[in-house]
């Protein structure tokens, strides 16, 4: 697991070295059921011309992240390390103060360090990450509120899932 984390971090750093408007980062505060809290650090890749122009504002990008989850009181807590990768789809639905508001959808893959977390047995290290969010665009930056659900899609029981709300700031560079 440590080698996988080191490889992921080195890949992110190498990507930043070739920065353009296609690359970005995100910082997310996540809060889940049962007082699970965490931080998600994300790398975003926004490739040009992936979606045809006649799709009227619909776009797609890729997000990979490392998550640090924490559950319980100081001195007696549980933690989990999570790696995720996901294609994300956005569509503009409104404008506030001449800035677009997007609805965001995505389904990606996740690797959990521990299958026993926050009093739940999620059965598998491999999970799916489903997201639904509202994103307010501020030029190269944006703020977002997302609902995120983790589950193994019923491949193995038990499959209680984990649910989070995320408040995030993202920016391209």
**Digit-coded pLDDT (tens) for 25-77:** 999 999 998 889 999 999 999 888 777 777 778 889 999 999 999 998 766 78
Residue of 25, 149, 131, 21 whose CA lies nearest to 87 = 131
**pTM of the shown model:** 0.84
- Tell me, what's the pLDDT at 80? 94
Say whether pLDDT at 172 is over 60.
Answer: yes
**Cis? peptide before 147, omega within 30° of 0:** no
Separation of CA 108 from chain center: 9
pLDDT of residue 51: 76
């Amino acid at each position: 697991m440590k080698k996988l984390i080191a490889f992921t971090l080195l890949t992110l750093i190498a990507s930043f070295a070739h920065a353009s408007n296609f690359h970005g980062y995100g910082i997310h505060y996540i809060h889940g059921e049962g007082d699970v809290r965490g931080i998600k650090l994300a790398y975003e890749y926004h490739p040009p011309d992936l979606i045809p122009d006649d799709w009227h504002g619909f776009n797609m990008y890729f997000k990979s992240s490392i998550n640090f989850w924490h559950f319980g009181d100081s001195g007696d807590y549980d933690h989990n390390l999570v790696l995720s990768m996901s294609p994300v789809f956005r569509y503009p639905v409104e404008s506030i103060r001449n800035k677009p508001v997007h609805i965001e959808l995505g389904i990606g893959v996740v690797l959990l360090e521990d299958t026993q977390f926050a009093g739940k047995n999620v059965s598998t290290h491999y999970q799916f990450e489903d997201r639904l969010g509202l994103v307010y665009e501020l030029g190269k930056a944006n703020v977002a509120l997302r609902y995120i659900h983790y589950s193994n899609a019923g491949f193995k029981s038990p499959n209680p899932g984990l649910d989070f709300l995320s408040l995030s700031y993202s920016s391209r560079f």
